[in-house]
Structure 1
Amino acid sequence: MRVKQKCLSSFMEMKWKKVSRYVVYKIDEKTREVMVDKVGVVGEGYDGLAAALPADDCRYAVFNFDFLSCDNCQAIREA
């Protein structure tokens, strides 16, 4: 299974540059490659990610979510 370079660059842009809220990946069965299916804009929340996932096919996703730490500080994590 090969992973397209765009998969890594999309993830790194989401993680470090905060240019997107989530990245959805899919596997192309013909080429046996992992590729980017959708990228969510910064303002989208979890509902946007859920709507981006098809009901009848498998997808893999990473999502930046905001939360308050135990010190009451705003934080973002990739999941």
Structure 2
Amino acid sequence: MQSRSGVAVADESLTAFNDLKLGKKYKFIIYGLNESKTEIVVQETSTEQDYDSFLQRLPENDCKYAVYDFEYDIGRGEGKRSKIVFFTWSPDTAPIRSKMVYASSKDALRRALNGVSSEIQGTDFSEVAYDSVLEKVSRSAGSH
């Protein structure tokens, strides 16, 4: 699957996603572009449960994509829920070229990942803070 920018999604990117979604093998996956900027590849997978350790993996000056298995409890005795959240991390300080390639390649990855519930666009850490994501995820959950 290719994006408008001609960037393809590596098979391993889909395999890792399915391992997270179906196998609950990972808590999060960080994706990036390969050296030649032709393919979206897995840069890291983690079983680390702490949300802060996920945030620490997002670089201050470069773009990434990420998928996070976000667990939350909305109260009302409904117990924990889990949503798969897709992140496009594009900090203001990232190089323009990098921001352009990531922006134009996002759709190929996003379309390839079936089962994502929410999408977060982050340009600084306040937009990807736990509470910001929780608010967006619980809003998209809606009430039955």
Shorter-normalised TM range: 0.7 to 0.9
User: In angstroms, what is the RMSD of aligned CA positions?
Assistant: 1.6
Q: How many pairs are equivalent?
A: 78
Q: Match for 2:43 among 16, 37, 43?
A: 37
Aligned residue type for 2:65 = Y
State the shift of 1:28 in Å: 2.1
Moved more, 47-56 or 64-73: 64-73
Is there any run of 5+ residues in structure 1 with no aligned partner, and where? Answer: none
Greater helix share, structure number: 2
After TM superposition, the score normalised by the length of structure 1 is 0.86
Q: Given the alignment of the two structures, is residue 63 of structure 1 paired with residue 68 of structure 2, yes or no?
A: yes
Give 5+ residue unaligned stretches, structure 2: 1-6, 86-144
Whether 2:9 is the aligned partner of 1:3: answer: yes
CA drift at 1:22: 0.3
The CA distance in 2 between the partners of 1:55 and 1:31, in whole Å, is 20
Q: Which residue of 1 aligns with 2:28?
A: 22
Q: Percent identity?
A: 24
Match of 1:52 among 46, 52, 57: 57
Checking the alignment, whether the CA contact within 8 Å between 1:40 and 1:48 is kept in structure 2 is: no
Structure number with greater Rg is 2
CA deviations over 1:13-45 (Å, ceiling 9, x no partner): 00111011000100125151100011111x422
Match of 1:39, SS state, is strand
Higher RCO, 1 vs 2 (CA within 8 Å, ≥6 residues apart): 1
Deviates more, 1:69-78 or 1:55-64: 69-78
Could you list the structure 1 runs, at least 4 aligned residues long, displaced by more than 4 angstroms after superposition: none
